[in-house]
Amino acid sequence: MRRLGFLSFGHWQDHPHSATRTAADALRQSIELAVAAEELGLDGAFFRVHHFARQLASPFPLLAAIGARTSRIEIGTAVIDMRYENPLYMAEDAAAADLISGGRLQLGVSRGSPEPARHGARAFGHVPPEGHTDADLARAHTALFRQAISGAGVVEADPEFAGPGAAGVRLAIQPQSPGLAERIWWGAGTRATAQWAAEQGMHLMSSTLLTEDTGVPFSELQAEQIEIFRSAWAEAGWEREPRVSVSRSVLPIVTDEDRRWFGLRGGTSSDQVGYLDGGLARFGRTYGGEPDVVAAELAADRAVREADTLLVTVPNQLGVEYNARLLETIASEIAPALGWRRAGAAGAADERPGVPADDGARARRIGGVTP
């Protein structure tokens, strides 16, 4: 495993035990946690996108703000529901956020997941053509978005405005951010969609949910998904290196506060199987407990071993300081057992110049305080 990041769902709730009572809290604390993660030597800050829920919804203002406050970590989504997106407007927003960050955007996109709204994308004005499904709509939006960020002309110029020489010229969206087109990931819930993503030249994002079940443990099914993806990538002849991320719920229990929130173990010890979208789905387990136990269990997780990037989900409603401590424990006591090293450490995988070494003793400002 070369990269370690966090994934936040950006919940907020007006509840006495929530540190994110409002949308403003969730947004501002997301920025602060990304800054803290960079200072801790992590490699990425990723955010889930949901609509019609008290969660993060419009990612690009947030990603641009994080890009302006950080200098090294990857910034991304996991994932954007492409059914809701105007592809050309999204292409403009994504390019602008990528330019602000200096080319660090990693955008996860997909067909989306079950949601509280009935036909929510239609309320945004996006309706599948006759005979097409929501999945078809998401893929069509994705194709146009990728075409636009690649610099292709997407609309004819108007000779009345631009002069006779513009006749037949097709205009590209602006701004353009070179390289962004190669940093698009598909959130695949099945082995078949992973194969399709590879054929399209998109990297693979695989979460703690697969919308199929073959009776084998989640990590084994996900590892098979990754193998199919990499094989299809090679067969497609792409010259770029494919990347694969998996997400995991990781809750090291080291303090009384941890035990108060998550109990002695912190989570379930086995997969869960249920029905989703009319079919069987398999949900991955939570890895909770003493850090050395969690490290050994994650090291035995075949899909984690096969991925180059691990995204750990954070309980964002517990606040920046708590989550920064959680990430520090994972970074110092768990991730090294998976082969990961802090950015800036000797031999670490970070390829960006100018990253200061982490001597393990620098003061880290987290949420306005130095722990």
What's the token pair of residue 281? 């789905």
Q: Is residue 313 part of a domain?
A: yes
- On whether residue 83 sits in a domain, the answer given is yes
Say how many Å lie between the first and final Cα of the chain, rounded: 28
Instruction: Specify the pLDDT at position 346.
Output: 55
Contact partners, residue 165, CB within 8 Å, separation at least 6: 159
Partners of 4 in the β-ladder: 310
User: What does residue 160 show for φ and ψ, rounded to 5 degrees?
Assistant: -65, -25
Interior/surface letters 14-34, b for 16+ CB within 10 angstroms, e for the rest: eeeebbbeeeebbbebbbbbb
The SS3 call for residue 370 is: coil
Residue 122 lies in a domain: yes
- State which residues form the domain around 267: 3-156+170-338
The answer to the question of residue 315 being in a domain is yes
In a domain, 32, yes or no: yes
Evaluate whether residue 331 is within a structural domain.
yes
C-alpha–C-alpha distance, residues 110 and 106, integer Å: 13
Task: Name the pTM for this structure.
Answer: 0.91
Left, alpha or beta for 131 (phi > 0: left; psi -120 to 50: alpha)?
A: left
Residue 162 domain flag? no
Note whether 59 and 77 are within 8 A (CB). Answer: yes
Residue 222 lies in a domain: yes
pLDDT at 345: 66
pLDDT for 338: 96
For the chain, what is the domain count? 1
CATH number, position 195: 3.20.20.30
Q: What is the mean pLDDT of each run of 10 residues along the chain (371 residues)?
A: 96 96 98 98 97 96 98 98 98 98 98 88 96 96 98 94 87 98 97 98 95 92 97 97 97 95 70 78 90 96 97 98 98 97 68 38 35 30
